Structure 1
Amino acid sequence: MPKKYRVGIIGSTGKGNYGHSVDKAFTKLPNIDIVAVADDNAAGLKAAQGRLKAKSTYTDYNVMLQKEKLDIVAICPRWIDQHHAMLMAAAEAGCHVYMEKPFCPTLKLSDEVVQNLEMRHLSLGIAHVSQYSPVLDVVLKIIRSGEIGEVLEIRGRGKEDHRGGGEDLWVLGSHVFGLMRSLAGGHPVSCTATVTNNGQPITAKDIVQGGEGLGLISGDHVQARYDFENGIVGYFASKRSMAGKPSRFGLQIFGSKGVIEMTSGYLTPAYILRDSSWSPGRTRKTWETITSNGIGKPETRKDGSYEGGHIAAINDLIDSIESQRPTRCTVEDCRDIVEMIAAVYESQRLGKTASMPLETRVNPLSLMS
């Protein structure tokens, strides 16, 4: 009989809740037994038990981890300030983890989690659902086949709504950076960035505590360039209240023979422009849709919801446990995404290009005076 995995769910009603339905995804998998749920909010805990049919409830996740012999812990809250403590407790209990993003608020805290999970040979999956998309698999094959020629640069943007700038960098930028790393096929070796507020370089007075436990953030306009080890250049930008309709949230891959556009999401279609000039107005060439079946082929899969992305990621985590292979977005990948975010502020603080890996492991904004 296939193994059933004992799962404990951690939520925090009013402080990140259960993320984007992370908890519900576990109810859709036949090899999962949700044995317990923990929430420090009594009303939220009662609602979660009813929703998840968990056998036991706890107001303290540490007690749950001590009493229940769990295989996997789901860390659901969106608020990032709780993630480090929850991850360390899960590692101490010997549990694999699936979690909501972003990962951890600083590189120092990320380093501690990486060390503690790796020393115990524990796997981690995270809700960067685009990383698990079968459309991404097709896009990577198209790039490797040379369909758009040599990749020259990758341009990404956040949602650029009221969170544009520093908050967008964290909350939506983490998705973009995960995709950018997958598509660039390597690690960035440097970051050159400018962060401004009302058109002026940020100073200490512009630094604020971000929402959802993000810690120190700053700026209403972020512009960053990343140089990857293989020569590809990546760009990320976000400016507050400049959102497009439909959203520009995602990225474009510019090659010597054409362009591919991807927006964030699981099973979201991508688009290819087979035009070396990148100028369809001149060439009369048109964008073609990319689905999990290929270029110009209709999508036949039915699991395209955000929940479907969680399910794919959880299945990947389980397969990584059973096959003793890395997950598609490993704990080290999560730390590298945090580093791409931190590098923006480090470059601004230094007033020059920041070499990566960063020597500064705290939030660079905490060092500005």
Structure 2
Amino acid sequence: MKRRHFLAATSVALVLPQLTSAAAMKRKVAVIGHTGRGNYGHGLDTVWRQIPSTKIVAVADANPAGLAQTLTKLKLKQGFADYRQMLSQVRPEFVAVAPRHVDEHRDMILAAIESGAKGIYCEKAFCRTPAEADEIIAAADKTGVKIAVAHRNCYQPALQQIDQLIASGELGKLLELRGRGVGDRRGGGEDLWVLGSHVLNLVNYFAGAPKSCSALMLQDGRHVTAEDVKPGAEGLGPLAGNEIHARYETEKGIVAYYDSIADDGTNRQGFCLQLIGGKGMVTIFLDQNPIAYFTPGNPYLTAKPRISLPITTAGVGKPETHPEISKQVSNHVRGVEDLIDAVDNDRQPLCSARDGATVVEMICGVFASHVAGGKTIDFPLQPRGNALGDW
């Protein structure tokens, strides 16, 4: 993720950017969902109704009952069983690729690109392999279409306040990043894909692109073997393990760790990324409000009581002056507005296809390292598939 893109997207104001081009004309949006196979993600269908400059003109859903329900929900008359037919007939400017199941994303995105769409907003995880991401990026680069991936936490303006803590030296030397998954029944490989992708996206933001990965995958305390590999839920592809420990070396020289253990006892409260510095620690709680806290003081001294200060858009320990932003982030309004602005100003979205691809590569790097016996695997990955499937 390029920091300059983040600053460009948020420097005008903390409120949503006011679009200046074609503001008076409604922009045509088509929604692709699939009831029973990921549905419509986390509101990727309804978000467009909250954007005054856009109008949903059609929806596609291969499930007849789901299509009928969605037409009623979105107050639409035009529905299609085949998303390719919809894209061909409607020729939308923007397309929402909404299903949570990942195995259809590549085909849906490529079809949207081929239809002439200018902007695509895609549910995470982005796609199943670096090879699929390569295909998508090549097609997008050829046509100029802008793709945003719904890693919504990166749209939080509070991240700028964390940047300032690092830049000012108040956090001290940044020693390491530590991320954890939700740690529920999905702990391990599924947690890495479905929720860990949010954590890895923020690792990319703060530490830069990953240079290498070394990892260990366990099943009930023993090393995962080829016999453990099964088709993953939500169309994730080959998957295994209910415990994962990964280490990344990054572009900025900061080492980042990611851990996920099924039923880890944290009651889903460990889902976070911690930035550990010599003078304090920042904890980013994914999808919560406030999203982050700063705990000043040497993180390894426990003699004194620790105070955690909320990080808001106004600063560390200050009251939130824009309470509406948290909702705008969680319901994808900020992400969609950023995508529209990226189309109008010919820039990459804050969370672009390349950012989504980086996360996919970080995940597949875990699989590649484990299959190689825990060996450190360099990026870019070679080969570009899912190593569990070739084991």
1:283 aligned onto 2:304: yes
Whether 2:158 is the aligned partner of 1:135: answer yes
Preserved contact between residue 42 and residue 331 of structure 2 (Cα < 8 Å) = no
Do residues 103 (structure 1) and 126 (structure 2) align?
A: yes
The secondary structure found in structure 2 opposite 1:212 is helix
- Residue of structure 1 equivalent to 2:17: none
Aligned to 2:334: 312
Alpha-carbon distance between aligned partners in 2 of 1:18 and 1:354, rounded to the nearest angstrom: 35
Q: TM-score, normalised by structure 2?
A: 0.91
The whole-number CA distance in structure 1 between the counterparts of 2:328 and 2:189 is: 25
CA contact (8 A) 1:133 1:267 kept: no
Distance 1:274 1:17 in 2: 43
Moved more, 126-135 or 240-249: 240-249
Deviation sequence 1:236-260 (CA, Å, 0-9, x none): 0001111413611011001121100
2-structure distance, mates of 1:267, 1:123: 29
Whether the 8 Å CA contact 1:135–1:267 is kept in 2: the answer is no
- For structure 1, the 5+ residue unaligned runs are none
Task: Report whether the alignment pairs 1:52 with 2:85.
Answer: no
| 8 Å Cα contact 1:225-1:234 kept in structure 2 | yes
**Equivalent in the alignment of 2:19:** none
Paired AA for residue 210 in structure 1? G
Structure 2 spans left out of the alignment, 5+ residues: 1-21
**1:37 and 2:59 correspond:** yes
Q: Is the 8 A contact 2:43 2:331 kept in 1?
A: no
Q: How much does 1:266 deviate?
A: 6.7
The answer as to whether partners of 2:128 and 2:360 remain within 8 angstroms in 1 is yes
Match of 1:145 in 2: 168
Q: What is residue 292 of structure 2 aligned with on the other side?
A: 270
Output the amino acid matched with 1:292.
T
* Cα distance in 2 for residues equivalent to 1:102 and 1:243: 25
The amino acid across from 1:345 in the alignment is: F
Distance 1:325 1:292 in 2: 24
Aligned to 2:41: 19
| Structure 2 counterpart SS, 1:336 | helix
Question: Aligned match of 1:61 in 53, 68, 83?
Answer: 83
Contact in 1 for aligned 2:95/2:121 (Cα 8 Å)? yes
1:158 aligned onto 2:190: no
Q: CA deviation at 1:309?
A: 4.3
Amino acid at match of 1:291: T
2:377: which partner in 1?
354
On the 8 A contact 1:158/1:169 being kept in 2, the answer is: yes
- Corresponding residue of 1:87: 109
CA contact (8 A) 2:152 2:329 kept: no
> Shift in Å at residue 332 of structure 1?
0.7
Distance 1:267 1:25, change over 3 A: farther
2:197 pairs with one of 151, 160, 174 = 174
Shift of 1:46: 1.3
What letter matches 1:140 in structure 2? D
Match for 1:219: what amino acid?
Answer: G
Paired residue total: 366
2:319 aligned residue: 298
Identity rate, percent = 39
Cα deviation, 1:149-204, whole Å, max 9, x if unaligned, reads 221100000001000001001001110000111111x1111101011112111111
Q: Secondary structure at the match of 1:305?
A: helix
The residue that corresponds to 1:325 in the other structure is 347
SS in 2 for 1:282: coil
Q: 1:192-341, aligned counterparts within 5 Å?
A: 192-245=214-267, 247-265=269-287, 268-279=290-301, 281-300=302-321, 301-305=323-327, 308-341=330-363
The amino acid that maps onto 2:257 is Y
Q: Greater CA deviation, 291-300 or 190-199?
A: 291-300
Partner SS for 2:249: strand
Contact 2:62–2:82 (CA under 8 A) maintained in structure 1? yes
Distance 1:55 1:338 in 2: 36
Q: d(CA) in 1 for partners of 2:265 and 2:160?
A: 28
TM-superposed deviation, 1:277:
3.9
How far apart are residue 268 of structure 1 and its match?
3.5
Query: RMSD of the alignment, in Å?
Result: 1.4
Give the conservation status (yes or no) of the 8 Å contact 1:275–1:283: no
Question: Which residue of structure 2 lines up, in the alignment, with residue 114 of structure 1?
Answer: 137
Amino acid in the other structure paired with 2:247: R
Which 10-residue stretch deviates more, 157-166 or 281-290? 281-290
Question: What residue is the counterpart of 2:6 in the other structure?
Answer: none
Give the Å deviation of 1:232.
Answer: 0.2
What amino acid is aligned across from residue 106 of structure 1 in structure 2?
A: T
For each residue in 1:305-331, what CA deviation from the matched residue of structure 2 results, as whole angstroms up to 9, or x when unmatched?
A: 376440000000001011111111110
